[in-house]
Every structure is written in structure tokens, then in C-alpha cells.
Structure 1
Amino acid sequence: MKLRTRGNSIRLRLEQHEIKNLVTQGAVTESVAFAPDQSFKYTLATSDNGEFSSKYQNGEIRIEIPLGLVKAWSESEEEGVYQTLNANTDFEMKLAVEKDFQCLHKRPDEDESGLFPNPKAGN
């Protein structure tokens, strides 16, 4: 899972197996280790209550999206799920959860075997 932040927006891009794990196991987590006892984690999890939520606690970002929506998205051709959290507040955040597509221009040292075929590759 890739994380991209810019201002008050978060974009998560998931490989095929990560979306399957999200549906079957309820969460996907990545971490970046800065030192032996210091890491930054980010988790995308499903919620059973049909709600989107986000929080930052103890060095971890946790985003929750409705399980039903994840299941429908995982079986569709849709690129992503988009939501504005805490709309019209000082804490408004744009959220994008997307399928990670293969690049149109190959990068020599990047394994793209788990990525989705790029829909623009045939054009």
C-alpha cells in the first residue's frame, strides 16, 4: 500500500492482494522504520457501521471505510473510493483509496507484478 499526503488530503493506493486482504481480514497496514524503536504506521481498515473515519494516534494513521463499499469496489472496474471527512470543519480531509495500476513507462527496479493492469495501456 502506498501513501501520499498533500495538505489535508490522503491517497492510499492498494495492490490486488492488499484489496483482497482488506476484504477478508479487515485491515492492511504498512510501516516505515526510522530507528529501532521509532516507526510510522498507516492502516486502512473496514468498518461494520457504514461510516468513514480517520484518526492519528501513537504514530499511526488509521483510516476506516465501510466494508460493504470496499466489497463492491473490489469487484468493480472503479478506480477508487473518494470521500471528504469532517466536511466543512477546520479538520476537513479529502480521502482517496485507489487501485494501484501498472505504470505506462516501466521502471527498471520496480516490481509491478501485484498491480492492476493499467486501463490506458491499450491506447
Structure 2
Amino acid sequence: MKIRIEDNSVRYRLRRSEVDTLTEKGSLWATVNFPEGQFTYGLQAIEGLADLQAVYEDGSIIIQIPKQWVRTWPGSPQIGFETDLKWNGVTLHLLIEKDFVCLDRDIASQTDQYPNPKA
């Protein structure tokens, strides 16, 4: 799972196997190790949730996604999900999407990515 953070925007890109893991297990986690500790980020599929939510606790970013979206996502043509969370004049943009094959890289090394619609 790749994460991209820019200003008030958090984007996750998931390979096929990661989408499958999220569907099967209900969560997906990645960790970056630093000398001072770990930074963890992940996704949790939550029953009854209506839209994406974000939680930051104990140095971890957790994006919660409605479980009903996760159930149908792997085989669907839907690329991803996004929302803007707003509070106290602040907006946090969240985007979760399938990771496509990069057209300018070796395709053989990208076997777990989704086919690029521009190919």
C-alpha cells in the first residue's frame, strides 16, 4: 500500500492483493520504521459507516471505509473512493484508489497492479 500525504490530503493506492486482503480480513496495515519509533498507516472496513473517516492516534493514520463498499470493490470497475472531511474551517481530503500499472516503467515488475485504463 502506498501513501501520499500533501498538505491536508491523504491518498492510499492499493495493489490487487491488498484490495483482496482488505476485503477478506477487514483491515490492511503498513509500517515505516524510524530510529525513534514506527509510523503506521492503514485501512479498516467498518460496518454501518456511510463515508470515509480518518483517525489519527498514537502516531498512526487510520482511514475507515464503509464495509459495504469493500465487499464489491475488488471485481468492480470503480477506481476508488474519496471525500472531504470538514471541521472548524479545516478540510481534509481522503482518497483511496486501486494502483494501476505505470506505463513508463517495466510492466513485468508490476504484476500485482491493476491494468492501466490508458494502455
TM-score by length of 2: 0.89
Correspondence for 1:114: 112
Q: Deviation per CA, 1:9-68, whole angstroms, max 9, x where unpaired?
A: 111000001001101101110011112x51100011101122432111111101101010
Aligned ranges for residues 1-123 of structure 1 at < 5 Å?
1-35=1-35, 38-51=37-50, 52-85=52-85, 87=86, 89-107=88-106, 111-121=109-119
Q: How many residues align?
A: 118
Percent of aligned positions that are identical: 33
Unaligned 5+ segments in structure 1 are none
Distance of 2:112 and 2:103 partners within structure 1: 15
C-alpha displacement of 1:90 = 3.2
CA apart distance, 1:111: 3.1
Quote the RMSD (CA, aligned, Å): 1.9
4+ residue segments displaced more than 4 Å: none
TM score, norm. by length of structure 1: 0.86
Provide the rounded CA distance (Å) in 2 between the counterparts of 1:112 and 1:53: 30
Higher strand share: 2
